């Protein structure tokens, strides 16, 4: 294989570039890196020479990435993050005698994922420490791509590029209503049954992609309320101001005698809950083993939860 000038790039140069873009100023970046400003400027010029392209456009007051620079930055951040995380992994293994695995999870699936992870830890195959990160799916997938996470359980509507995704289970949309609402006694409800009533849904995550098209097709009510937290959604439903529209997973811990969860059908709309990770070699063996365990365990947990929900619904209708 012919030698490429790019092979002369060093990790230190990549770190300089990443910090410079983050700070947006040569002086601030040089102080943070504890080097002189001319040394930083020369390092960036050397990078551009090796690449054969400009990474930044410079003006008196600001720096801007070129199109090539933006592409290089995405890969630079991944390499820098992966290197930093790998060093922390090595430090943890040496000092604590255990592997370190970083797992991201959407809050609505955290109960299932943490329970399955506990089962994995109880198997005692190796000493493992898990660092947890809960955030919306878009944030988790971005952090996964940048090397900050080993894996993530996220909800998607479209396959995310650059990641391996294993389907775990489907999470349908449901309606949350007050117990005295006309729909509360129904086994399920159609989208048309919502009629002109106002709904409340989450403003971020998968809900805009899932709920908005169906609402536009079947419902002609006022513009929905959009909230960030389930507590606010439930409060609006409880006060009679709206009907709640949300993924079923969120309702698994709902224990409120004033509220009833109704399946939505015609059509049944659901999001995919997946286990996502970067393709290729994993950073450590423990992460590989945990991924294999979750791939097998989480779909079973999802099926069991569906059976429990169905059984509970049957008892409540007797």
Sign of the CA dihedral with 34 first, then 38, 44, and 50 last: negative
Q: How far apart are CA 275 and CA 153, in angstroms?
A: 5
Q: Which of 214, 216, 192, 231 is nearest to 269 (CA)?
A: 214
pLDDT single digits (tens) 86-98: 777 777 667 666 7
CA dihedral angle for residue 162, residue 168, residue 174, residue 176, rounded to 10 degrees:
-100
pLDDT single digits (tens) 53-73: 899 987 766 788 898 888 888
Task: Work out whether strand 199-202 and strand 243-247 pair parallel, antiparallel, or are unpaired.
Answer: parallel
Q: How far apart are CA 164 and CA 184, in angstroms?
A: 40
Whether 99 shows a pLDDT value over 50: the answer reads yes
Whether 306 shows a pLDDT value over 60: the answer reads no
Whether 188 shows a pLDDT value over 70: the answer reads yes
Confidence (pLDDT) at 214: 63
Calculate the CA 74 to chain-centre distance. 18
pLDDT single digits (tens) 238-294: 999 999 999 999 998 889 999 999 998 878 888 899 999 988 766 678 888 999 999
Whether 310 shows a pLDDT value over 60: the answer reads no
DSSP string, 232-297: HHHHHHHTTS-EEEEEGGGGGG---TTEEEEEEESS--EEEEEEEE-SS--S-HHHHHHHHHHHHH
Long-range interactions of 286-291: CB distance < 8 A, separation 24+: 286/99, 286/100, 286/101, 286/126, 286/128, 287/99, 287/101, 287/150, 287/151, 289/120, 289/125, 289/126, 290/101, 290/103, 290/117, 290/120, 290/128, 290/130, 290/150, 290/151, 291/150, 291/151
Inter-residue contact 276 to 200 (CB < 8 Å): no
Mean model confidence pLDDT for the chain? 83
């Amino acid at each position: 294989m012919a030698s490429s000038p790019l092979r002369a790039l060093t990790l230190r140069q990549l770190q300089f570039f990443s910090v410079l873009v983050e700070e947006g100023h040569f002086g601030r970046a040089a102080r943070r890196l504890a080097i002189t400003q001319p040394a930083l400027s020369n390092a960036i010029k050397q990078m551009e020479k090796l690449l054969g392209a400009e990474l930044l456009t410079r003006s008196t007051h600001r720096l801007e990435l070129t199109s090539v620079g933006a592409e290089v930055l995405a890969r630079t951040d991944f390499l820098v993050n992966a290197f930093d995380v790998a060093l922390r992994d090595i430090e943890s293994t040496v000092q604590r005698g255990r592997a370190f695995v970083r797992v991201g999870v959407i809050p609505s699936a955290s109960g299932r994922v943490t329970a399955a992870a506990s089962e994995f830890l109880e198997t005692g195959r190796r000493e493992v420490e898990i660092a947890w990160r809960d955030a919306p799916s878009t944030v988790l997938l971005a952090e996964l791509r940048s090397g900050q996470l080993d894996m993530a359980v996220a909800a998607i509507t479209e396959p995310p590029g650059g990641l391996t995704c294993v389907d775990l289970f489907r999470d349908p949309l449901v309606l949350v209503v007050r117990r005295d609402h006309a729909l509360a006694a129904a086994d399920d409800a159609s989208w048309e049954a919502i009629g002109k009533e106002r709904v409340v849904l989450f403003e971020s995550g998968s809900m805009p992609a899932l709920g908005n098209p169906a609402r536009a097709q079947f419902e002609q009510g006022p513009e929905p309320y959009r909230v960030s937290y389930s507590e606010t959604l439930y409060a609006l439903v409880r006060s009679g101001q709206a009907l709640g529209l949300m993924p079923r997973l969120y309702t698994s811990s709902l224990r409120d005698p004033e509220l009833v969860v109704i399946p939505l059908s015609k059509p049944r709309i659901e999001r995919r809950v997946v286990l996502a990770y970067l393709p290729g070699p994993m950073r450590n063996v423990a992460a590989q083993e945990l991924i294999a365990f979750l791939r097998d365990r989480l779909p079973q947990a999802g099926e069991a939860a569906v059976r429990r929900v169905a059984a509970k619904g049957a008892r409540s209708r007797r």
